[in-house]
Amino acid sequence: MAPKKTRAQKAESRAGAAPADAVLTGTVIRSGGGFYDVDVPDEEEIIVCALAGVLKKGRRTHAQPVVVGDRVLVRRTLSEGENAQGDRVQEGYIEAVLPRHSALGRSRYGKTTQITLANLDLVVVVLALHEPEFNAHRLDRFLVLAEASELPAAIVLNKSDLATKTEMKKRFAPIIKRYEALGYPVLPVSAETDAGIPQLRELLKDKISAVVGSSGVGKSSLINAVQPGLRLWVGDVMEIGKGRHTTTDVTLHPLDFGGYIADTPGVKTVTLIEPEAVQLPMCFPEMRARSSLCKFNNCSHRHEPGCAVKAAVEAGEIAPERYASYLKMAEDVKK
Ligand code: GDP
Ligand code: ZN
């Protein structure tokens, strides 16, 4: 986090900022008790906002007019105040919410009942090359969660310092190629040596991202390498079959170079949606287009004759490791 500024420094920097009553565009990074913390680029302080009358209960059409991640128009009031942590803050009103392009939330019976995070742009799946040992099936499970939530995913392979050059070439290069061919960006990095960290910043820049992965792969170390001083909770993402759709209070942490990292203090990271059996093939990009070519339109791509997916596996067009992942996950979903 940036070092705290003195009052004089703040007044000086505000001289160049927008006038107190200007309408500003910002991002809601936290909410609670009817107030919303809004981060506005070029403003030194967070603006703590109440809702303007038009967005208030009774007059609004939406159950949740404003959630974390929303882009909002804010009118700053002339007063300054303090937040719960005792930091001096600006105050204002949220006057309008810009359209959301994505929404994650709790859902029941296939219907979203509560949105917990709006406008998430990217799921960053972190795996280590060693310690813990790279596991392609684990990677596939995380990718499927992102696909089921209809969110773009990128793959970050950490601890590249622990792999030899030969191993990089012989073992990992083909894996990287396989996932890139599916449309996922793949980035080998090392939080230890800073290799690939500038590229990781580039990937996160100006986006709202969620970092997921098993414990020990280096999520905290990577976030700290990307922005020294930024320490988040970043727990393990929930896995298929364990507890469903339970997301709580998400906080967004601003990145100095632009963008935000989503964090859920005290609980596991942003929970992504788990696919049902029928949707599982849709969560594999290489199976999506081929499914419509199967003889049976309810083909499970396991044992049916005339299966276009199995034919593609046999022809070497679908990686056997990916198909094996699909079969394993299909088993889990059935249970
Ligand atoms: P998290 O549980 O995913 O947040 O993982 P941590 O960031 O706590 O890292 C787990 C362990 O891996 C720690 O001992 C780190 O020092 C180590 N670690 C993290 N990144 C790297 C890396 O790039 N290379 C090596 N060799 N060790 C790393
Ligand atoms: Zn099929």
CATH code of 134's domain? 3.40.50.300
With tokens 């000086």, the residue in question is: 12
Q: Which of 46, 76, 103 delimits the end of a domain?
A: 103
CA dist 319 and 184 (Å) reads 15
Q: Is residue 169 part of a domain?
A: yes
Ligand 1 pocket, mutate which of 131, 159, 221, 222 (most atoms under 8 A from CB): 221
- Spatial separation of the C-alpha atoms in residues 250 and 68, rounded to whole Å: 7
Q: What is the pLDDT of residue 108?
A: 52
Q: Is residue 176 part of a domain?
A: yes
Answer yes or no: is 240 within a domain: no
The whole-number pLDDT of residue 333 equals 74
pLDDT of the residue at 237 = 45
Which pLDDT value is given to residue 246? 39
Q: Which residues, 6 or more positions from 278, have their beta carbon under 8 angstroms from its beta carbon?
A: none
- 255 and 290 co-located in one domain: no
**Domain-located, residue 177:** yes
The number of folded domains in the chain is 3
Instruction: Note whether 158 and 211 are same-domain residues.
Output: yes
Q: Please check whether residues 124 and 267 belong to one and the same domain.
A: yes
Nearest CA to ligand 1 atom 26: 159
Instruction: Please check whether residues 167 and 197 belong to one and the same domain.
Output: yes
Are 208 and 168 in a shared domain? yes
Q: What are the residues facing 287 on neighbouring strands?
A: none
- CA angle in degrees (0–180, nearest 5) for 85-271-254: 40
- Ligand at minimal distance from the CA of 310 is 2
Q: How far does CA 81 lie from the centroid of its chain?
A: 32
Q: How far apart are the CA of 226 and the centre of ligand 1, in A?
A: 14
Q: How far is the CA of 192 from the centre of ligand 1 (A)?
A: 8
Domain annotation covers residue 82? yes
Q: Please indicate, yes or no, whether residues 298 and 200 belong to a single structural domain of this protein.
A: no
286 and 159 share one domain: no
Ligand nearest the Cα of residue 217 is 1
Nearest CA, atom 22, ligand 1: 159
Pocket of ligand 1 (CB under 6 A): 158-159, 161-162, 190-192, 213, 215-221, 234
Per this entry, what is the length of the chain? 335
The pLDDT value recorded for residue 328 is 92
pLDDT value, residue 57: 63
In a domain, 110, yes or no: no
Residue 114 domain-assigned?
A: no
pLDDT for the residue numbered 81:
65
Alpha carbons 48 and 334: distance in angstroms, whole number: 47
Taking residue 203's Cβ as centre, other Cβ atoms within 10 Å add up to 19
If you measure from the C-alpha of residue 216 to the centroid of ligand 1, how many angstroms do you get, rounded to a whole number?
A: 6
* Nearest ligand by distance to the CA of 306: 2
Name the residue range of residue 46's domain: 7-103
Asked if 136 and 274 touch (Cβ cutoff 8 Å), the reply is no
Q: Where are the alpha helices (DSSP H) in the chain?
A: 7-15, 136-148, 165-167, 173-181, 197-204, 219-226, 285-291, 308-314, 320-334
Residues 153 and 257 in one domain: yes
Residues in the chain predicted with pLDDT less than 70, given as ranges, are 1-20, 57-63, 78-89, 105-113, 231-249, 264-274, 334-335
- Give the position, in ligand 1's atom list, of the atom nearest the Cα of 158: 23
CATH code for position 73: 2.40.50.140
Residue nearest to atom 12 of ligand 1 (CA): 218
CATH number at residue 324: 1.10.40.50
